[in-house]
Amino acid sequence: MTNIVGNEQFSYHADANWAQFPEGYYCQEVVGTAINSQNVVYVFNRGEIPVMTFASDGTLIDQWTDLSIQRAHGISILHDDTVVLTDDVGHQVSLYTPNGELIRHLSDGAASDTGVENMDYRTIQHGGPPFNYPTNVVETESGDLFIVDGYGNARVHHFDADYQHVKSWGEPGAAPGEFNVPHGIDIDGNGVLYICDRENTRIQRYSQTGELIDIWTDTIRPAQIFIHDNHAYVSELGYKTGMFAGDTPPAGVTTGGRCSIYDLDGNVVCRWGGGEDPCAPGDFYAPHDITVDRDGNIYYAEVVWSAGGRHEEVMKPYHTLQKFTRV
C-alpha cells in the first residue's frame, strides 16, 4: 500500500481523493468537517455548495446550497446531531437541523467592540462580548457551548444549554491566559478545554470556569484540535503560509503544515507533514481543521485558495480535504 504516513503506533493511508464531490465541482477551500452519530461526514467549504455530506466511503449523500453564510469558518455537531456553523465575517454562530434547516442564530450578527481594524487581529485593542469574527465551537457533556472568537476578538465565550451567554474570558497578548487568535477548541473526557492559541503558537488548557491549567508549546501555529481515545489530534498551520505581509517566522523555523498526535500530557506520539511537498498525499499546505471518526480515521481540511492558491503559490490540482485511514 502506498501513501502511508505516521509511525508504528499510528499508521495511516493518505487519500487526497476520498470525497466524491459533485461532477464538475472543484472544492478549493474546505474549512472543516464534522461527523454525526450515524457516521455521516459533514464538509463545510467556501464555495457554491457550503455544506456537503458523505458516507464514510466518500459517497456523496446531500448538498446544502441555500445558506446565508458570508464566509464559512467552522463546523461542529452536537449530541443530538444539531449542526453548528461558524460564519466569521458574518460575526455569527448558527444551529441547523441535520438536513440543513435553520434552528437559530446565537447573535444579531453585529460585530462586538474590540478595536480591531479590517480583520487584522494584530490591531485588537481589548476583548469584547460575542462575536467578532468567531472561529470554532465545542459542546460539553451537559450541553453547554464554548466558542472561540478569534480573528477579531481574543476571547472564549461560554453559553449554557439554553444558548444564553454565561461569561467570557481572555484578552489580546502573549502572556499565559491571553490569546492571539484563539482558533480551535475541543474538550476531553474530564471536561478540560483545549484552546489552539494559533499566533502564540501554543495550546492552552482551561477549566470550564476559565482557570488556566497548563500550556503546551511543542506545536507550530495550531489551527484545530480533536480529542479521541485519550489522544489529541492537532492540525498545525506552520510557517510556510497564512501570515500577513511583513510578518516572518522565528529565526530558523521553516516548518510548514503538519499533523501531530499527542497524549493528554502533551507529549508528541506521532507527527508527519511539514509542507515540503504540499500537494502530495499526506503532506499539507494550509491546515485548518481536523476530525477523527469512531474508527480512528482522520479527516483533514485545508484552506489552500485563501492561503496562497489565489496567488498561484501552489497550483491546481491541490487537495483541500484528505482522509487518513488507520492501517
User: Domains in the chain and their CATH numbers?
Assistant: 4-82+179-326 (2.120.10)
The confidence score (pLDDT) of residue 279 equals: 93
User: Closest Cα to residue 320, out of 54, 21, 41?
Assistant: 21
Question: Is the pLDDT reported for residue 1 higher than 80?
Answer: no
User: Closest Cα to residue 235, out of 292, 187, 188?
Assistant: 292
* % residues pLDDT > 90 (the chain): 92
CB–CB of 273/265 below 8 Å?
A: no
Residue 157 banded pLDDT, cuts 50, 70, 90: very high
Q: What is the pLDDT of residues 197-217, one digit of tens each?
A: 999 999 999 999 999 999 999
The CA distance from 82 to 257, in Å, is: 31
**Please, is 229 exposed, middle or buried when counting C-beta atoms within 10 Å of its C-beta (0-12, 13-18, 19+)?**
exposed
The confidence score (pLDDT) of residue 251 equals: 86
pTM for this entry: 0.97
Alpha-carbon 254 to chain mean position: 22
3-state secondary structure of 211: coil
* Concatenated DSSP letters of 126-178: S--SS-SS--EEEE-TTS-EEEEE-SS--EEEEE-TTS-EEEEE--BSSSTT-
The confidence score (pLDDT) of residue 176 equals: 98
Question: Is the pLDDT reported for residue 124 higher than 90?
Answer: yes
Question: Is the pLDDT reported for residue 320 higher than 90?
Answer: yes
Residue 145 banded pLDDT, cuts 50, 70, 90: very high
Q: What is the pLDDT of residues 21-38, one digit of tens each?
A: 999 999 989 999 999 999
CB–CB of 115/156 below 8 Å?
A: no
- Across the range 175-187, mean pLDDT stands at 99
The confidence score (pLDDT) of residue 246 equals: 81
The confidence score (pLDDT) of residue 59 equals: 99
Q: What is the pLDDT of residues 65-86, one digit of tens each?
A: 999 999 999 999 999 999 999 9
- Across the range 42-61, mean pLDDT stands at 98
- Across the range 159-163, mean pLDDT stands at 98
* % residues pLDDT > 70 (the chain): 100
Distances in whole angstroms, Cα of residue 223 to Cα of each of 150, 157, 176, 183, 272: 11, 18, 18, 6, 16
Q: Within a 10 A sphere around the Cβ of 291, how many other Cβ atoms?
A: 25
Average pLDDT of the chain is 97
Q: What is the pLDDT of residues 231-270, one digit of tens each?
A: 999 999 999 999 988 888 888 889 999 999 999 999 999 9
Question: Is the pLDDT reported for residue 226 higher than 80?
Answer: yes
Which three cell numbers mark 308? 496562497
Q: What is the pLDDT of residues 169-179, one digit of tens each?
A: 999 999 999 99
- Across the range 305-310, mean pLDDT stands at 91
Residue 283 banded pLDDT, cuts 50, 70, 90: very high
The confidence score (pLDDT) of residue 252 equals: 84
